[in-house]
Amino acid sequence: MIPADLDEVLRLEAENPSPWSREDIEREIGRYDRILYVTVDETLGVIVGWCCCRFLDDQAELLKIAVLGSMRRRGVASGLLTLLLEYLAGRGVQALYLEVRSRNFPALRFYRKHGFAEVGRRRRYYFSPDDDAIVLERDFAQ
């Protein structure tokens, strides 16, 4: 992801229940300890998905993965996650963590399909609506 992608990513974010602001995304672009990817649909010529991850030494945290509503269930998120996992493995990362709402069953199924396992729960972590956060880990040693 480059700064020129920002407006398209913001349009995509506007469709999501917990959208990041322009400032949130600008803060992540270009940081040495972050990786941001976008997926462009060549036919449409637009960004249809993006992700943001932070890493430090042998651990990483997936901060965001989002896909344009009309492009969901077409492998966009899987492609982004696979690319990210390959990059992190190449950097020697041993574990990738993330949090997801406990009632977000499609996301939980998605991450479990990609080798993540529940390692914790943060009670009442989310609001509007109130919900627990499930902490998931993808162990690269597996």
- Cα 77 to Cα 26: distance, rounded to the nearest angstrom: 21
Q: How far is CA 117 from the centre of its chain?
A: 16
Q: Which of 8, 13, 28, 99 is catalytic?
A: 99
pLDDT digits (tens, 9 = 90+) for 43-82: 989 999 999 999 999 999 999 999 998 898 999 999 999 9
Per-residue pLDDT tens digits for 21-38? 999 999 999 888 999 999
Q: CA-CA distance, 86 to 120, in Å (whole number)?
A: 25
CA atoms within 13 Å, Cβ hemisphere of 99: 13
Query: Does residue 87 carry a catalytic annotation?
Result: no
**By three-state DSSP, how is residue 13 classified?**
helix
The catalytic residue among 111, 118, 125, 126 is: 111
Q: Clarify whether 99 is annotated catalytic.
A: yes
The enclosing domain of 24 has a CATH number of: 3.40.630.30
Structural domain count, the chain = 1
Q: What is the pTM of this model?
A: 0.91
User: What's the domain range around 101?
Assistant: 3-139
15 touches 68 (CB < 8 A):
yes
